[in-house]
Structure 1
């Protein structure tokens, strides 16, 4: 189990160690090639210290790695470990705790996200009104200006769904997510309509587990699995807690959570039937007067 940037550092270290082994070099020989002490190479390979992208390039040159795509990806991985998050997030460094900046970094660099949500709409699909209500409920002691800033961060994160290529998002929601009136009826109707609009994007799939299924694996806690392009064994499971996030990247953890996600997908309604349920729920949502709408 790793927290924050250690995920990036350890993965990068594994890749660099593998490339060194392919060249038949010891860590001491590699260090001499780039003019470092052997302990620096060892710390990088074990993830105990970060490494600048320029230093990664020096190692790749020493290992005679010419693959442009691999060089770019490892350099980007070093950059994410050294300065977690997208550039826009730097403006919020004083507000965002380290684990949230690390989560943004993972999310911004992932190719695919698979998420099970049991209580709230996934952050990447939240409307401003819904996001504000969730933030106020979770962090009610914050002053209004900080709540507004956190909502801005959540909305900025959604740009990953509009990137080139965009993040592929596969989300499974408990029916309770649709029924809980977060922010009041008007905000909830707007949120449900937004889910229907987002599901029309080719890189977003939504499924709902209806109440009729009762208990199921994952019911006691949401999770998200990030998958990354082209770098081996880089998937990460993220578990959110009230005050921190936990990152799991052991093979057995990844297999367990991947299997759990496949299970909940099989229990959930099809994408088409899920959208029908979302649309019906939106129509049935209470009006401003508190009366139910048409079914």
Structure 2
């Protein structure tokens, strides 16, 4: 388990190594092509050191990589902006957002699909401004109104990935507790449930509710997110968010376990159609 920057460096290095091998080059030959010492190529491939934008582009050019999506993912993993794809807007909030949150937004912005289990709060991509404000204030006791405004602004800007071209594909399983917890009070919660209903009707969103009647389930251990990327499954990553840290799991075994867990949760949850009715019924009760 590693934190965001480390896991991204390793993923970037592993993919660059695979591309070099696919191009039929040794690390020494690759180094000569770009005018480096072999040790620099090795450090980048093992993830022991980061790569500058020009370095990544030079290697991709040397390996004959012309696929724009693959190039975009490689540069995104390095935390870079190649001037293509979704805008890296979060860089403007460096003084406000912790590195782990910026890393999460970077992955979210570049991912093709996101699968999330939520057991306590509505996913950030589906929150209303009022709900986001209430839940952020509760999570960060004593936060100033100015910083709170900024964090809510960031939360809402993140939601642009659902309106991008192509949009992020979102699969969300919500424990019933998410819907019952009156964050911000009944009125705020009623509007939040309406927002969930609207979002669930989007073609790129699949929303399912796991009712209390489902009993204990594999998700009781806590929420998680699985990001998938267009170019290769080797770049997929699981994110576990804790009170003081965020962990990124990259091993194939971890990905397999969490993917199977999410599939099981979907199988035990209400169908998307029944989930809409369930959400509406809870909203009527408010």
Structures share a fold, TM > 0.5? yes
Checking the alignment, whether the CA contact within 8 Å between 1:34 and 1:58 is kept in structure 2 is yes
Which residue is equivalent to 2:198?
197
Structure 2 match to 1:37? 37
* Aligned mate of 1:81, from 60, 78, 92: 78
Structure 1 equivalent of residue 67 of structure 2 = 69
Are the counterparts in 1 of residues 11 and 77 from structure 2 also a CA contact under 8 Å?
no
Structure 2: runs of 5+ lacking an equivalent: none
Q: CA deviation at 1:38?
A: 1.3
1:218 match: secondary structure: helix
The number of residues matched between the two structures is 282
> 2: distance between equivalents of 1:176 and 1:120?
8
The match for 1:17 is 17
Is the Cα–Cα contact under 8 Å of residues 118 and 178 in structure 2 kept in the other structure? Answer: yes
Q: Deviations over 1:4-51 (max 9, x none)?
A: 122222122112111222333322222122111111101110112222
Residues of 2 paired with 1:87 and 1:23: CA distance? 30
Q: Which has the larger radius of gyration?
A: 1
> For structure 1, which runs of at least 5 residues remain unmatched after alignment?
286-295
Greater mean deviation of Cα atoms: 45-54 or 115-124? 45-54
- Contact 2:12–2:47, Cα closer than 8 Å, also in 1: yes
Structure 2: how far apart are the matches of 1:137 and 1:86? Answer: 30
Query: Shift in Å at residue 240 of structure 1?
Result: 0.4
Offset of 1:232 from its aligned partner?
4.0
Partner of 1:3: 3
Match status 1:231 vs 2:238: no
Q: CA deviation at 1:230?
A: 1.4
Runs of 4 or more consecutive aligned structure 1 residues displaced over 6 Å after TM superposition: none
Partners of 1:257 and 1:232 in 2: how far apart? Answer: 14
Cα distance change on mapping 1:79 and 1:249 into 2, 3 Å: closer
Secondary structure at 2:230's aligned position in 1? coil
SS in 1 for 2:239: strand
Within 5 Å, which residues of 2 pair with 1:176-191? 176-191=177-192
Superposed displacement of residue 162, structure 1: 0.3
Counterpart-to-counterpart distance in 2, 1:75 and 1:6: 19
Q: CA deviation at 1:93?
A: 0.7
Partner residue, 2:58: 58
